Amino acid sequence: MFKSITNCKYFIIISCIISWSSFAGNVSPNDPAIASAHPLATQAGYDILKQGGNAFDAAVAVSSVLSVVEPYSSGLGGGGFFLLHRESDQFQIFVDAREKAPGKADADMYLDEFKNVIPRVSLDGTLAAGIPGLAAGLTHVSEKYGVLPLDQVLAPAIALAENGFPVYERFITALKVAIAIDVMSPKFIENFTLEGEIPEVGTLIKQPELANTLRVIASQGHDGFYNSELTETIVTESNESGSIWTTNDFKNYEIVEREPLQVKFSDYQLTLAPPPSSGGTTIATILNILSEYNYRDMNTAEFVHLITEAMRRAYKDRSEFLGDPDFVVVPVLKLISKNNAIKHSSSINLDRATPSKQIGKSFEANPKEKGTETTHFSILDQDGNRVSTTQTINTWFGSGYMLPSAGFILNNEMDDFSAKAFAPNRYGLVHGEANSKAPNKRMVSSMSPTFIESKDDLAILGTPGGAKIITMVLLSLISWTEGADADAMTSGRRFHHQYLPDEIHHEKDAFGEDVIDSLVSKGHSLKEIGDYGNMQVVTYKKSDGSVKASSDPRALIENSEIDFY
Ligand code: DON
């Protein structure tokens, strides 16, 4: 894979205005295509398309079903980003349904009297939860961009919550993690275990309270979740378990429609996630640094060294400058400028690794999460409308707290803020003041729903994986420009550097022995970790209309039989 990467020339031009019409081909997709992490969600998406829905309707169906059947990854208690493309007028938008800090949050809420970080308060229980955004995202996408009524697109999720879904291996793995860290609230135990015991594969898990919550949203829309009797119950129950949520936090919650980041890379147009995601900015910064080099003649080891140095510098920028753009000025254009790439390149030594402490601060960072929780799906409908969505409650089963009446698990997204400046979070990520907590502020995310398009092809992609999302999407989109197909994009071996800790994390077989020897001789520390990520890719070839959907082989749910469109 990396051999071929090094044989190509990259060139990035930052472009805020692009002519999408120049990419519009005459052929339409032969079929729609959906890639998601669970066959029941994929099926629901195809069913909604069959009923006359468009990609945006299908997205609401897939998203809500994932909330039911993958409650360890995402749900109504969390948030997400929806990257949309409407084919008829080439309109693109990034729907930011990220959680917000409660109004009573303050910058020091996870510190003790000596200003030390209190372990796990930002991860376990109701104090770890931001105000959920997913329900607002679903109602917004449905009402503004869909063609079917909200109750119709939520029907598959309601049915699965009411009638149950069969337990599968991955669900059991997630339950084991929750049991090991002992975070499960009483309602969680009641819903997902047999009196504390892990259910067997195939056991039906029913969630009647969640079905009810979905029904309220289906009939009352946004207000059903954010300004209703249900809201009162959500706030009261969470307060009884220690949350600082208020009904005003919910009344004030709104999604934000943001301009996606547009960058040009070789012959490709990238549509990337803007802040409060750090994904697009970091990906563009890395690609810009690469394009400062003529590396067509580099061998794999030289290329991996170079891209690692680019990752190091881009993640350093991320740690200092990324924050909620509604609260802090995030200098995106400066970060993804050629000048910044030149500045970073001037400190890169092609023969030696640059110790991270030499270019910035030195902190202990020991990431605890590898990255398969959270979930992504990609959709292309037959009219060419597209959706790329990543949604999350953060770590496995989020905060572990399930609301007794509303039946969903609260996120622990507050851990994506810095507990204090440059204190590493669960992913070992460090952040400065730009990502400090403040009432109603959104925490920085790594979620990176992405489109990459040329005049001939299109790929829609994204993945879970915490801090590693960014480098997974980066490596995958580079491989796409080198001719990889959807399956190669989801299965390509992965590696990652995030500035701190100062080490290259890599999957088994990501590098040959010669590459490892070369990287070590240049001064890199390498750490082999297990497989990570759960990438979902849809591709479309404009010349013949062919489409392909591919799900990450690392996390495939077996025995799936999907009735395609
Ligand atoms: O928004 C973020 O960046 C994280 N909360 C995503 C969490 C995630 O991908 C979990 N996987 N390891």
Residue whose Cα lies nearest atom 2 of ligand 1: it is 445
Q: Is 392 in the pocket of ligand 1 (CB under 6 A)?
A: yes
Task: For residue range 371-384, list pLDDT tens digits in order.
Answer: 668 999 999 999 99
- Report d(CA 209, CA 331) in Å as an integer: 44
In a domain, 436, yes or no: no
Give the count of beta carbons closer than 10 Å to the beta carbon of residue 5. Answer: 21
Mean pLDDT of the chain: 92
Close Cβ partners of 355 (under 8 Å, ≥ 6 residues apart): 502, 523
pLDDT of residue 8: 28
Close Cβ partners of 505 (under 8 Å, ≥ 6 residues apart): 367, 468, 495, 496, 497, 527, 528, 529
270, containing H or E segment: strand 268-272
In a domain, 13, yes or no: no
State whether 167 and 212 are in the same domain.
yes
Looking at the structure of the chain, the number of domains it has is 2
State whether 351 and 279 are in the same domain.
yes
Which phi and psi (to 5°) does residue 318 adopt? -55, -45
Question: Ligand 1: which of 66, 173, 376, 427 to mutate, judged by most atoms within 8 Å of the beta carbon?
Answer: 427
- Report d(CA 105, CA 102) in Å as an integer: 5
Average pLDDT over residues 296-309: 93
Q: Is 394 in the pocket of ligand 1 (CB under 6 A)?
A: yes
State whether 239 and 277 are in the same domain.
no
State whether 393 and 302 are in the same domain.
no
CB 289 within 8 A of CB 337: no
Question: Ligand 1: which of 322, 394, 554 to mutate, judged by most atoms within 8 Å of the beta carbon?
Answer: 394
Question: At residue 468, does pLDDT exceed 50?
Answer: yes
Q: Is 390 in the pocket of ligand 1 (CB under 6 A)?
A: no
pLDDT of residue 561: 54
Question: At residue 5, does pLDDT exceed 60?
Answer: no
In a domain, 346, yes or no: yes
Ligand 1 center–CA 23 separation, angstroms: 32
Determine how β-strand 165-166 pairs with β-strand 375-380: unpaired
State whether 284 and 251 are in the same domain.
no
- Report d(CA 427, CA 405) in Å as an integer: 32
Q: Is 412 in the pocket of ligand 1 (CB under 6 A)?
A: no
> Among candidates 351, 284, 354, which has minimal Cα distance to 314?
284
State whether 237 and 265 are in the same domain.
no
In a domain, 28, yes or no: no
pLDDT of residue 27: 78
DSSP result, 64-107? HHHHHH-TTT--TTSEEEEEEEETTTTEEEEEEE--B--TT--T
pLDDT of residue 455: 95
State whether 134 and 274 are in the same domain.
no
pLDDT of residue 360: 83
Cut 0.85: pTM above it: yes
Task: For residue range 382-439, list pLDDT tens digits in order.
Answer: 999 999 999 999 999 999 999 999 999 999 999 999 888 888 888 888 888 999 999 9
Write out the residue range of the structural domain in which residue 530 sits: 259-368+448-561
State whether 320 and 403 are in the same domain.
no
Average pLDDT over residues 15-35: 62
Average pLDDT over residues 94-102: 98
pLDDT of residue 406: 98
Question: At residue 20, does pLDDT exceed 60?
Answer: no
- Report d(CA 80, CA 469) in Å as an integer: 14
Average pLDDT over residues 295-324: 94
Residue reference for tokens 């420009």 = 481
Question: At residue 559, does pLDDT exceed 70?
Answer: no
Ligand 1 center–CA 369 separation, angstroms: 9
pLDDT of residue 366: 65
In a domain, 472, yes or no: yes
- Report d(CA 343, CA 314) in Å as an integer: 12
Q: Is 130 in the pocket of ligand 1 (CB under 6 A)?
A: no
> Among candidates 452, 424, 436, 494, which has minimal Cα distance to 284?
452
Catalytic positions are: 374
pLDDT of residue 562: 52
Q: Is 237 in the pocket of ligand 1 (CB under 6 A)?
A: no
Question: Ligand 1: which of 469, 473, 534, 536 to mutate, judged by most atoms within 8 Å of the beta carbon?
Answer: 469
Ligand 1, residue 369: give the atom nearest the CA.
12
State whether 161 and 274 are in the same domain.
no
Q: Which residue has the higher pLDDT, 98 or 16?
A: 98
Ligand 1 center–CA 392 separation, angstroms: 7
State whether 52 and 189 are in the same domain.
yes
CATH number at 267 reads 3.60.20.40
State whether 317 and 409 are in the same domain.
no
- Report d(CA 493, CA 507) in Å as an integer: 6
CB 97 within 8 A of CB 141: no
Residue 558 — pLDDT band, cuts 50, 70, 90? low
Question: At residue 17, does pLDDT exceed 70?
Answer: no
Task: For residue range 106-150, list pLDDT tens digits in order.
Answer: 999 999 999 999 999 999 999 999 999 999 999 999 999 999 999
In a domain, 156, yes or no: yes
In a domain, 3, yes or no: no
In a domain, 498, yes or no: yes
Ligand 1 center–CA 426 separation, angstroms: 9
State whether 52 and 119 are in the same domain.
yes
Q: Is 391 in the pocket of ligand 1 (CB under 6 A)?
A: no
Q: Which residue has the higher pLDDT, 255 or 423?
A: 255
Task: For residue range 183-211, list pLDDT tens digits in order.
Answer: 899 999 999 999 989 999 999 999 999 99
pLDDT of residue 425: 87
